[in-house]
Structure 1
Amino acid sequence: MYRAEKRGGINGLVVSHSAVDMFSMTIIENSRHRDGSIYRNKAFEGHFCITNRDETRLEPMMFSEPTDCRPSWETCSMHSACAMMQIFSLKLAKIPIDNDCIQLYGYIAVRNDLDKLLNYVVNYSRDNPIIMRQGDLIEMTGPKRGISMCCSVLLEFDMRIKKGEQEKDDLQLIDGAIDYIGLITATFPFTKRINGDCGAVDITLARVYWAVEATIQVIISDVQSGFNLYLSSLCFVSDVWKEIQLFNGPIGESCGLRRYVVAVSLDTWMHLKLKVSTTPPA
């Protein structure tokens, strides 16, 4: 079964292998951004610098900035494998019943002991929300670097539904934080639900054992006519292939897609899947 325990004032989730049912995550008490309780919660003091809202400055370990649309590998070096978190998908599981589609904005980010700053997995501004329907996958905009799980990882989120001209009119989808303790986070992909005031998000993740950071960079060098591209990565985790959607959208000109960082178990294969069509992406 799945069960939640409280450890040191922060709720930790203990996961066993005997069940695969959907189950709600336990959000840390007094960790909401809207009412400011997360900034006053003394459980975070001395570990996660919650009041520091800066984005992580660390880049992927094995990649440097591309030059003239060509990746540069001069900074490559060998790095030791370690336990890493891999988030495979985020799905908009529930929205207010009277809405066919919504304008979604906000962020989901992780913090760990590398520098304790925000490593965004999703980050959309209110001025540039994404249009979504219930059941859609939320396209991830990160992480910027791999998520080490040598110690605990904090998942922090504040996602809202845009309703009117002013932010005060918006609905809160999910708000709070969840901690994942490395040694008791499952090494097989599992899905949990984050319930909020006006909906829910399903997150699928795993602690990838003996993992290294793989950086994926795709350059579209020549476009004769527009097309739609679906790009995903398939990784071998705990004896199963698990797909991570990286991009799903239109391509109209030569460009470089954003950098994608994936945790991959050492001495296993990682496959890239590309689908090209002239019809709009599903």
Structure 2
Amino acid sequence: MLRSWRNLDRVCRSAYGPFAMARNIAVHGQTNRGKPNQTSHLPCGSAFFCTPSEQFATTKGKNRAKMRKETKKVNVRSSFIIDNSTHRDGSIYKNSFLQKICSVTNRDETQLEPMMLSDPTDCFPDRERCAVHSARNMMQIFSLKLAEVSVNTSSVQLYGYIAVRDCLDSLLNYIVNRSRDDPITVQQGSLIEMTGPKRGITMTSPVLVEFDMRIRKGEREEDDLQLIDGAIDCELTTTPLRPITNHINGDCGAVDITLALIPRAVEATIDVIISEVQTEFSLSLSSFVFVGGSHQGIELFCGIIGESCGLTRRYVIAVDKASWMHLMFNIGQKGSKIGDLEHHCRFKADIHGCTCRQIILEHASISLKVTWSIVR
């Protein structure tokens, strides 16, 4: 019997029940509580400009938005990596218990996407009291960070993946997925760009977080270093309602993954199209959701915009059904003496439908579409 599963008599009888286990957790910091702001909800299908009443603010320079100030330092705990869950030596594929629970030998990506029902008539018997489509417990991953690295260089090239498996289909729902030919350059203490999830992460039962991240060292793969390898579980009863950072130690460093359980959550699928670009500018996009008594930020995009385009992917965020989601754009123009501009829009959570916004700038136009749905 594996040491990881010695407390099976205490585990709930769910499909992923055996992932629940006792842990020794080191916790630091605390989070204060507050109240979310509210604004009017604007219908989909109308293209209009953001007015001051529809935005939080437009500020210059280094001024911070109110919801950014509400973001608190999250708790940190050391993660327990499941025994015999490493990929490089094949242990995880020989782990008969994990194979039975979530088919870890199946390396396919989930094909499920957000169940976006923009037509309210899809809801029966009526939209206000929908028993068919209702909010669910969901996990939200807020950030990945390269917490530690043993390589004595200013930055490293990372590749590999971090993915989750939930009870919907147990296939890989990638949070980050980079090939060796397309690594990401990261400094110690910096965020690792997330490329997912493809759909919302349901947490009606425990979720398996699986990872295999490496540091590229040269031309040959055999010279590369293992950063982290294995799997951890996030059990419904031990995942807090406010963000917590799981510190995952590996052979040559550590990765911090910050997440939280969001009860009564809906999916927000964010599409961004940038048009009428007059000159090159920098753009960062973050989402803020109200969780655990404060707004918590999620960095969605950070890069240079040189031509009209749609951002590289859709962004899927878990939002408390009774709250508002906020989007913050930070826009900087090369050579400008004015300083960066911050635009803030907010969206009321819903189980169906969509909301549109259009931000008109001096050098570009940004069109937003947020489509609301529920996990299956």
Q: TM-score, normalised by structure 1?
A: 0.89
Given that 2:273 and 2:310 are in contact with CA atoms closer than 8 Å, whether structure 1 keeps it comes out as: yes
Q: Are 2:324 and 1:269 aligned?
A: yes
Q: For 1:129-158, what per-residue CA distance to the aligned partner results, in whole angstroms no more than 9, with x for missing partners?
A: 011110110110000000000011000000
Higher RCO (CA 8 Å, separation ≥ 6 residues): 2
Q: For 1:89-111, what per-residue CA distance to the aligned partner results, in whole angstroms no more than 9, with x for missing partners?
A: 01110111412111111100000
Counterpart for residue 260 of structure 1: 315
Gaps of 5+ in 1: 64-72
Following the alignment from structure 1 to structure 2, what is the Cα–Cα distance between the partners of residues 169 and 277?
40
Counterpart for residue 21 of structure 2: 12
Q: Aligned to 1:143, what secondary structure does the other structure show?
A: coil
Given that 1:17 and 1:186 are in contact with CA atoms closer than 8 Å, whether structure 2 keeps it comes out as: no
Counterpart for residue 203 of structure 2: 149
Change over 3 Å in CA distance of 1:110–1:75 after alignment to 2: farther
Runs of 4 or more, structure 1, over 2 Å off, are 4-23, 73-79, 278-281
Following the alignment from structure 1 to structure 2, what is the Cα–Cα distance between the partners of residues 94 and 197?
11
Counterpart for residue 216 of structure 1: 270
- Which AA in structure 2 matches 1:146? G
Counterpart of 1:127 (choices 177, 181, 190) is 181
Counterpart for residue 69 of structure 1: none
Instruction: Summarize the alignment of residues 124-273 of structure 1 with structure 2, pairs less than 5 Å apart.
Output: 124-257=178-311, 258-273=313-328
Following TM superposition, by how much is the alpha carbon of 1:43 offset from its aligned partner in structure 2, in angstroms?
2.1
Change over 3 Å in CA distance of 1:254–1:7 after alignment to 2: farther
Change over 3 Å in CA distance of 1:197–1:253 after alignment to 2: same
Gaps of 5+ in 2: 9-17, 30-74, 124-132, 341-376
Change over 3 Å in CA distance of 1:19–1:92 after alignment to 2: closer
Following TM superposition, by how much is the alpha carbon of 1:77 offset from its aligned partner in structure 2, in angstroms?
5.1
Report the count of equivalent residues. Answer: 269
Sequence identity (%): 57
Aligned-pair RMSD on alpha carbons? Answer: 2.4
Given that 2:210 and 2:230 are in contact with CA atoms closer than 8 Å, whether structure 1 keeps it comes out as: yes
Q: Are 2:63 and 1:54 aligned?
A: no
Given that 1:15 and 1:185 are in contact with CA atoms closer than 8 Å, whether structure 2 keeps it comes out as: no
Change over 3 Å in CA distance of 1:124–1:7 after alignment to 2: farther
Counterpart for residue 59 of structure 2: none
Highest CA radius of gyration, 1 or 2? 2
Q: For 1:228-277, what per-residue CA distance to the aligned partner results, in whole angstroms no more than 9, with x for missing partners?
A: 11000000012110000000111111111110000000120100000011
- Which AA in structure 2 matches 1:155? V
Following the alignment from structure 2 to structure 1, what is the Cα–Cα distance between the partners of residues 213 and 7?
26
Q: Aligned to 2:298, what secondary structure does the other structure show?
A: strand
Q: Aligned to 1:183, what secondary structure does the other structure show?
A: coil
Following the alignment from structure 1 to structure 2, what is the Cα–Cα distance between the partners of residues 228 and 167?
34
Q: Are 2:94 and 1:40 aligned?
A: yes
Given that 2:27 and 2:77 are in contact with CA atoms closer than 8 Å, whether structure 1 keeps it comes out as: no
Given that 1:11 and 1:27 are in contact with CA atoms closer than 8 Å, whether structure 2 keeps it comes out as: no
Q: Aligned to 1:246, what secondary structure does the other structure show?
A: strand
Following TM superposition, by how much is the alpha carbon of 1:192 offset from its aligned partner in structure 2, in angstroms?
1.8
Following TM superposition, by how much is the alpha carbon of 1:80 offset from its aligned partner in structure 2, in angstroms?
1.1
Change over 3 Å in CA distance of 1:174–1:16 after alignment to 2: closer
Given that 1:62 and 1:75 are in contact with CA atoms closer than 8 Å, whether structure 2 keeps it comes out as: no
Following the alignment from structure 2 to structure 1, what is the Cα–Cα distance between the partners of residues 119 and 83?
46
Change over 3 Å in CA distance of 1:132–1:110 after alignment to 2: same
Change over 3 Å in CA distance of 1:76–1:149 after alignment to 2: farther
Given that 2:208 and 2:231 are in contact with CA atoms closer than 8 Å, whether structure 1 keeps it comes out as: yes
Q: Which has a greater percent of strand?
A: 1
Following the alignment from structure 2 to structure 1, what is the Cα–Cα distance between the partners of residues 193 and 121?
28
